């Protein structure tokens, strides 16, 4: 029962003077993520859900230079997981020629439908990728405990905050040739690890979500911090958990 939008109404969805409007936020946040090294070379991005609408950046563009007029809008109530390029109920497609919605669309949808998330962030952070390389090859998940920054992460990404003595666990799935082919593997890992606040993709990056864009962003920062300190600990042979 998605509302039907006229083209004027659809266009109006991405024009706002409010800096916290999703179309403005995506542009602003992507600039910040670029400075953090998370979305260099067109990789990564953020999708924000506002009630029954989902706002998405285009695929394959410089994320730090996106403008609101480049933003795609989709209804959250798709009949199935939306695949990039497939026929679906777009509410707004940018007029600029050749733009396609982010390849991450079906992966963002996992967070929206399986965790009822309000936002989902994908980064190619070197800390995430190096961590998946430093951990032994068979390791199914990253586990760490006894780090203050664990307290900034929520159970399942959208539940209660973890405690200092809790063990944070983030599953690691294998990368695939095409980004949308990660969809199923990510969904399986989310089902198998209901408390996981994120999914690491080996040799690729991480997906993090939260109830709101603020929680998705601060959790992405806490997790990236933990990936970074974990890489340093592994390189210095300091155990990641089981401390004391």
Q: Which residues are annotated as a binding site for substrate?
A: 104
Question: Which residues are CB-contacts of 168 (< 8 A; sequence separation ≥ 6)?
Answer: 142, 143, 144, 145, 147, 150, 153, 162, 197, 226
206 and 219 Cβ atoms separated by less than 8 Å: no
Both tokens of 109, joined, read 């949808």
2, 12, 96, 165: which one binds a copy of itself (CB under 8 A): 165
Q: Pairing relation of β-strands 168-173 and 141-144?
A: antiparallel
Residue 184 interacts with a copy of itself (CB under 8 A)? no
> CB-hemisphere CA count at 13 Å for 102?
31
Q: Is 90 a residue that touches a copy of itself (CB under 8 A)?
A: no
Q: What is the Cα–Cα distance from 69 to 95, expressed in whole angstroms?
A: 8
Name the one range near a copy of itself by CB under 8 A: 46-54, 67-75, 86-94, 130-138.
130-138
205: contact with a copy of itself by CB under 8 A = yes
- Of residues 109, 141, 147, 162, the one with CA closest to residue 232: 147
The answer to whether the CB of 201 falls within 8 A of the CB of 207 is yes
- Span interacting with a copy of itself, options 69-77, 87-95, 106-114, 230-238, rule CB under 8 A: 230-238
Residue 3 or 160 having the CB closest to a copy of itself: 160
Q: How far is the CB of 80 from a copy of itself (least distance, A)?
A: 25
- Binding of a copy of itself at residue 203 (CB under 8 A)? yes
Can residue 158 be called a binding residue for a copy of itself (CB under 8 A)? no
Task: For residue 148, count other CB atoms closer than 10 A to its CB.
Answer: 10
Least distance in angstroms from the C-beta of 153 to a copy of itself: 9
CA-to-CA distance for 121 and 107, rounded, in angstroms? 10
Between residues 2 and 164, which has the closer beta carbon with respect to a copy of itself? Answer: 164
Q: Tell me the backbone φ, ψ of residue 99, rounded to 5 degrees.
A: -75, 135
**Which CB atom, from 13 or from 173, has the smaller least distance to a copy of itself?**
173
Closest separation in Å from C-beta 27 to a copy of itself: 15
Residue 223 forms beta bridges with which residues?
Answer: none
Candidate list 20, 97, 101, 148, residue with the active-site label: 148
The length of the chain is 244
> Per the annotation, where are the binding residues?
104, 122, 124, 204
Is residue 20 annotated as part of the catalytic site, yes or no?
no
Active site residue ranges: 148
Give the binding site for a copy of itself (CB under 8 A).
40-43, 61-62, 124, 126, 129-130, 133-134, 146-149, 152, 163-165, 175-178, 201, 203-205, 214, 217-219, 221-222, 224-225, 228-229, 232-233, 235-236, 238, 243
């Amino acid at each position: 029962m998605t509302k039907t939008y006229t083209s004027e109404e659809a266009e109006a969805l991405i024009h706002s003077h409010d800096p916290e409007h999703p179309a403005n936020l995506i542009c602003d946040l992507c600039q910040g993520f670029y400075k953090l090294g998370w979305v260099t070379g067109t990789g990564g991005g953020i999708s924000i859900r506002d009630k029954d609408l989902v706002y998405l950046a285009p695929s394959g563009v410089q994320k730090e230079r996106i403008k609101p007029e480049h933003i795609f809008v989709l209804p959250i109530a798709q009949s199935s997981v939306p695949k990039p390029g497939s026929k679906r109920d777009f509410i707004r497609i940018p007029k600029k020629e050749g733009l396609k919605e982010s390849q991450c669309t079906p992966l963002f949808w996992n967070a929206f439908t399986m965790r009822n998330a309000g936002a989902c962030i994908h980064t190619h952070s070197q800390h995430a990728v190096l961590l998946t390389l430093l951990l032994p090859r068979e390791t199914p998940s990253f586990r760490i405990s006894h780090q203050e920054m664990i307290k900034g992460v929520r159970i399942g990404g959208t539940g209660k905050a973890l405690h200092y003595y809790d063990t944070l666990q983030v599953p690691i799935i294998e990368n695939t040739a095409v980004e949308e082919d990660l969809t199923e593997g990510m969904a399986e890992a989310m089902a198998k690890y209901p408390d996981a606040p994120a999914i690491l993709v080996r040799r690729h990056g991480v997906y993090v979500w939260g109830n709101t864009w603020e929680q998705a962003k601060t959790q992405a920062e806490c997790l990236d911090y933990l990936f970074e300190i974990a890489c340093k600990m592994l390189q210095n042979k300091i155990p990641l958990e089981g401390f004391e």
